[in-house]
Chains A and B, each alone.
Chain A
Amino acid sequence: MIKKTFKIPDMTCSNCAMKLESLEDDLEGVKEINASYHRLEMVIEYDESKLTDEQIISAVKKKGYKAVAAG
């Protein structure tokens, strides 16, 4: 399991964070997602053997947002 932060610059309200956290239910290999509208970021803890950065970015895009890996 690794923990990674993605910047989500186009969040507009706290509901966006809720939408992004719903990826917990959609993506295989995700343990936990903490999204924050205040910080415009999403911290995702996942199994890197089951999920790649590209898959995460693509899933975020389908929710209507742009994700950029931070750090």
Chain B
Amino acid sequence: MPSKQKTPAINPVIVVALGILFIAVALILLLVQPNTQSLDFNTDSGTWSQLVVAFITGITTGGLSCLAVQGGLLASSLAHQIEQDYAEQAANKKQKAPVRANSAFPIFLFLVAKIIAYTLLGALLGWLGSYLTLSPMTRAMLMIAIGIFMIGNALRMFNVHPIFRYFSIEPPKFITRYIRRTAKGTDTFTPLFLGALTVFIPCGVTQAMMATALGTGSIATGAALMFAFTLGTSPVFFIVAYLTTELGSRLEKFFMRFVAVVVLILGFVTLDGGLNVLGSPLSLQNLTRNLLPSNSTSAPAADSPQPAAVEGEITLQVENSGYFPTTLKAPADKALTLNLITNETYSCARDFVIPALSFYQLLPDTGTVQVNIPAQEKGSTLFFTCSMGMYTGQIVFE
């Protein structure tokens, strides 16, 4: 078949210069950031568990999903000769793609550039998110939107209905065309450059992780999240890309459903967290708590048997693993005080929210904070949660 060769329409030097400018702007924004809280890296267990989940997602589904999307790009970036070998192999399906002894270093460069680029992207998303997380309500809406996006993507992967294809973001054609033509280069700079450019062609799982980074509302946490995720994708990406470039398309088909199931579960967890932060009784935790009443329930404050109880006051222990008791009972039609007691509490349970009262406060790691609760009608329920929607509880007025 006749072929033609085109060169990139844009000089790579200009693109690199723009990339450097982008990084410089990102760093300046980071340094002059007025909202210094967004620079803080939350060292609580919630953040760490988020990073671990990101890494595991990367090493399992993310690596395979990214490989399916970007593997061909990497293969073509290694050398023009490999591209030809790949094409020949596609024509002669039974033959295996030759492994080039010198392909490890370009793959390494590609992955290093990719990790750096995604970490910077995570920082940028976290910074953008810090302006969206001014209130727990905004955070809840964002989490719900992210959850719907993830569920939509999973349903797209299951091919449930054509409408779900619109949950996949198609990069602008000029970007894909530029990346494709740059990939024809043969120097060692090319894999480094292309690794960085993969930020423009993220796979579905990466897009979901980017949305989560946006939801962190922190430059440091957003960057750490994307770093952990991209680092997780690297081993699978490296091994499979090194062994063969052909395996990518096979893995894509083989693991598509597995990836979809994981994204679906993560989507529902995120959506449920959003509902919790919204104070919705329809969240899974709030629904199951009422359907399956636990024994972690306090007596009404007025006639509480607890020795330290004071009339008109109720007490909630805020611990690293959540709130105790998860259900507090309180007298209706009477204003009362809620004592929030922390004792070396470092998890996100400290980020205490009562959505219905628009109450939000970061509690001290050890101490007591009092919250005035206005009189509530008999039979009503006030839900409380951490700001991430992970730990929840309720006050039932009787």
Q: Which residues of A contact B (CB under 8 A)?
A: 12-15, 17-19, 21-22, 24-28, 34, 36-38, 40, 55, 59, 62-64
Whether, in the assembled complex, B56 has its beta carbon less than 8 Å from a beta carbon of chain A, the answer is: no
Whether, in the assembled complex, B201 has its beta carbon less than 8 Å from a beta carbon of chain A, the answer is: yes
CB distance from A35 to the nearest CB of B (A): 9
Given contacts A15-B69, A21-B180, contact A55 B168 (CB under 8 A): no
Asked whether, in the complex, the Cβ of A38 is within 8 Å of the Cβ of B1, the reply is: no
CB distance from A7 to the nearest CB of B (A): 12
Q: Which residues of A contact B393 (CB under 8 A)?
A: none
The CA-CA distance from A36 to B165 in the complex, in Å, is 10
Q: Which residues of A contact B249 (CB under 8 A)?
A: 64
Asked whether, in the complex, the Cβ of B168 is within 8 Å of the Cβ of A21, the reply is: no
Asked whether, in the complex, the Cβ of B168 is within 8 Å of the Cβ of A19, the reply is: no
Give the residues from 213 to 250 in chain B that come closer than 8 angstroms, CB to CB, to chain A: 249
Asked whether, in the complex, the Cβ of A25 is within 8 Å of the Cβ of B6, the reply is: yes
Give the residues from 170 to 229 in chain B that come closer than 8 angstroms, CB to CB, to chain A: 170-171, 173, 176-177, 180-181, 184, 201, 203-204
Asked whether, in the complex, the Cβ of A28 is within 8 Å of the Cβ of B4, the reply is: yes
The CA-CA distance from A62 to B68 in the complex, in Å, is 17
Asked whether, in the complex, the Cβ of B177 is within 8 Å of the Cβ of A21, the reply is: yes
Q: Which residues of B contact A59 (CB under 8 A)?
A: 1
Asked whether, in the complex, the Cβ of B170 is within 8 Å of the Cβ of A28, the reply is: no
Give the residues from 268 to 305 in chain B that come closer than 8 angstroms, CB to CB, to chain A: none
Give which listed residue, B1, B72, B180, B252, contacts A12 with CB less than 8 A.
Answer: B252
CB distance from B101 to the nearest CB of A (A): 27
Asked whether, in the complex, the Cβ of A14 is within 8 Å of the Cβ of B171, the reply is: yes
Q: Which residues of B contact A21 (CB under 8 A)?
A: 173, 176-177, 180
Asked whether, in the complex, the Cβ of B3 is within 8 Å of the Cβ of A26, the reply is: yes
Whether, in the assembled complex, B90 has its beta carbon less than 8 Å from a beta carbon of chain A, the answer is: yes
The CA-CA distance from A25 to B176 in the complex, in Å, is 13
Ordered by A's residue number, 6 sampled pairs between the chains whose C-beta atoms are within 8 Å are: A21-B176, A22-B180, A25-B181, A37-B168, A38-B170, A63-B90
CB distance from B35 to the nearest CB of A (A): 34
Q: Which residues of B contact A22 (CB under 8 A)?
A: 180
Q: Which residues of A contact B69 (CB under 8 A)?
A: 13, 15
| Given pairs A12-B253, A18-B180, A28-B4, 14 additional interface contacts (CB within 8 A) | A14-B168, A15-B69, A15-B72, A17-B170, A18-B171, A21-B173, A21-B177, A25-B3, A28-B1, A28-B2, A36-B170, A38-B170, A55-B1, A59-B1
The CA-CA distance from A34 to B115 in the complex, in Å, is 30
Chain B count of residues within 8 A CB distance of the other chain: 34
Asked whether, in the complex, the Cβ of A25 is within 8 Å of the Cβ of B204, the reply is: no
CB distance from A65 to the nearest CB of B (A): 11
Asked whether, in the complex, the Cβ of A13 is within 8 Å of the Cβ of B68, the reply is: yes
CB distance from B260 to the nearest CB of A (A): 11
Q: Which residues of A contact B177 (CB under 8 A)?
A: 21, 24
Of all chain B residues, which has the CB nearest A18?
B176
The CA-CA distance from A62 to B91 in the complex, in Å, is 7
Give the one of A22, A34, A40, A63 with max B CB within 10 A.
A22
Asked whether, in the complex, the Cβ of B4 is within 8 Å of the Cβ of A25, the reply is: yes
Q: Which residues of B contact A13 (CB under 8 A)?
A: 68-69, 168, 203-204, 252
Q: Which residues of A contact B168 (CB under 8 A)?
A: 13-14, 37-38
Whether, in the assembled complex, B15 has its beta carbon less than 8 Å from a beta carbon of chain A, the answer is: no
Q: Which residues of B contact A55 (CB under 8 A)?
A: 1
Given contacts A12-B252, A55-B1, A59-B1, contact A38 B176 (CB under 8 A): no
Give the one of A13, A19, A21 with max B CB within 10 A.
A13
Asked whether, in the complex, the Cβ of A62 is within 8 Å of the Cβ of B170, the reply is: no
Q: Which residues of A contact B165 (CB under 8 A)?
A: 37-38, 40
Give the residues from 28 to 78 in chain B that come closer than 8 angstroms, CB to CB, to chain A: 68-70, 72
Asked whether, in the complex, the Cβ of B4 is within 8 Å of the Cβ of A37, the reply is: no
Asked whether, in the complex, the Cβ of A34 is within 8 Å of the Cβ of B173, the reply is: yes
Whether, in the assembled complex, B21 has its beta carbon less than 8 Å from a beta carbon of chain A, the answer is: no
The CA-CA distance from A19 to B248 in the complex, in Å, is 13
The CA-CA distance from A31 to B155 in the complex, in Å, is 35
The CA-CA distance from A12 to B252 in the complex, in Å, is 9
Of all chain B residues, which has the CB nearest A39?
B165
Asked whether, in the complex, the Cβ of A12 is within 8 Å of the Cβ of B171, the reply is: no
Of all chain A residues, which has the CB nearest B5?
A25
Given contacts A36-B170, A37-B168, contact A15 B201 (CB under 8 A): yes
